[in-house]
Structure 1
């Protein structure tokens, strides 16, 4: 079915090394979803391909941007205007296939721009990808000259902000990297239901657990572990299997379908 201009955006957000690229790729494989292709930018990230929201060497710095007040863009921001949307659309349009129901866009900086993006694109959906803070701290150590405890604190502070921002979003879901690698078919089905797409009939690929690459990651302190518990994380890379992820959607039928598809995880209005 040709959708023409009748499409919506699904924005994938998360700290660097959290699994955003993997998640965006799985979403892009769903029927009716188009992704940025052939762009000469890192990881096909849309933030590099638009000139409406400044994106330069001082924005999006790993383990810095997510707690920078200047990069937290919400309702009423100076860029919350029609011209911003029009410029983004014009800049992105050449990189997407013309006939798709959804356009998936993945940039880590979406994590601090979700509320602004919702203002610009009111029908947008958001998928936040998280990964155990001990692992993220170990994975970004090659880029960031900071001790692991400080990196874990940054993760916790950033996700405190995310948790609050989620309450402002009409349609949002949280995906843990650990759940995705353990149950790729289930999580893919949940993402499809969240976007109101028929459950894929193909079997999801086997995904290697990259957390195994960091057996010596520094353990969280007890205080840090208490804060991480809200996301279902414990010390020594524990990802609690009974953790209930928030799923938000204005339509009850979609919210409940996504709830069931994710495997009985928590639904949130």
Structure 2
């Protein structure tokens, strides 16, 4: 007997605050066959606010705090790795989605929950969005009372943890905000290929928000830590090869080709 196919699959979008996760989630939501959370009475239509399975208070998900908080790093085998968590998430999110083969859920804290969500929803896929840490620091400065150097150190620590988590994921795509705003059509095609969907027709205008800020030098240790991610001092963005993982080679290669 063949088991029933699930009615939908999840694609989770995550990244540090002000990294481009909302733009990316909207791009995915415009693809045919994707249901998205729209017009919800919560910040940026983030699903984390619409569920009660995993506590999310003013002390959770704080910009420049959550990504290095050990209690927010949720992985396989943690206290939330239970059928009850999955059932509650499904029940709480269901009213916010229309019909679709995919459901896109975006919350910055997904950056530290991907391994748990993979356990709860084994067919889920993940899109991680990152942005130059000097731009992130400038963008969140209105919310966070923290020196820019400390915020960049937080970015480095968060992405060091991300690098370790990526090895545990079956289907994940890593995008940079700077590449996305420079080539939005290519990234729409890559996201469609990653989900094995036809390209959408949405053409939301995008602008390079990095131009809103001025950038200074970095410490030598910081610059060295950023280099593997294709970032340098003064807001510099360096070439970086596409990073896509998927169990099906044809899907992986199609997404990579669109990103090149």
- The TM-score with structure 1 as length reference comes to 0.92
Change (3 A) 1:77 1:203: closer
Structure 1 residue aligned with 2:178: 178
Rounded to whole Å, the distance in 2 between the matches of 1:218 and 1:16 is 21
| Structure 2 SS opposite 1:233 | coil
Q: Give 1:127-138 correspondences, 5 Å limit.
A: 127-138=127-138
Partner of 1:96: 97
Equivalent residue of 2:35, what SS? Answer: strand
Question: Counterparts of 1:203 and 1:137 in 2: how far apart (Å)?
Answer: 30
What are the superposed Cα offsets for residues 124-161 of structure 1, whole Å, 9 maximum, x if unpaired? 00000000001101111111111000000000000000
Report the Cα offset of residue 11 of structure 1. Answer: 0.3
Deviation at 1:245, TM superposition (A): 2.9
Partner Cα separation in structure 1 for residue 202 and residue 71 of structure 2:
43
Once residues 177 and 254 of structure 1 are traced to their aligned partners in structure 2, the CA distance between those partners, rounded to angstroms, is 22
Query: For the Cα contact (< 8 Å) 1:16–1:108, is it kept in 2?
Result: yes
1:144-181 per-residue CA deviation (whole Å, 9 max, x = no partner) reads 11100000000000000001101100000011000011
Per the alignment, residue 237 of structure 1 pairs with 235
Tell me how far 1:37 sits from its aligned partner.
Answer: 2.0
| In 1, Cα distance between equivalents of 2:253 and 2:242 | 13
Where does residue 157 of structure 2 map in the other structure?
157
Q: Does 1:26 align with 2:24?
A: no
Tell me what 1:255 maps to.
252
Pair 1:227 & 2:228 matched: no
Deviations 1:61-89 (A, max 9, x none): 10000001111010100110111000000
2:67 counterpart residue number: 66
Q: 1:218 Cα deviation (Å)?
A: 3.6
CA RMSD of aligned residues (A): 1.3
C-alpha separation between the residues in 2 aligned to 1:94 and 1:75? 27
Partners of 1:175 and 1:51 in 2: CA distance: 29
CA contact (8 A) 1:138 1:218 kept: no
Does the aligned pair in 2 maintain the 1:7–1:100 contact within 8 Å? Answer: yes
Q: Which residue number corresponds to residue 209 of structure 2? A: 210
By how many angstroms is 1:204 displaced?
3.4
Q: CA deviation at 1:108?
A: 0.4
The CA distance in 2 between the partners of 1:105 and 1:125, in whole Å, is: 11
Alpha-carbon deviation of 1:232?
0.5
- Cα offset, 1:5, TM superposition: 5.4
Length-normalised TM-score, structure 2:
0.96
Contact 1:185-1:203 at 8 Å conserved across structures: no
Deviation at 1:203, TM superposition (A): 7.0
Consecutive unaligned residues of structure 2, counting only runs of 5 or more, are: none
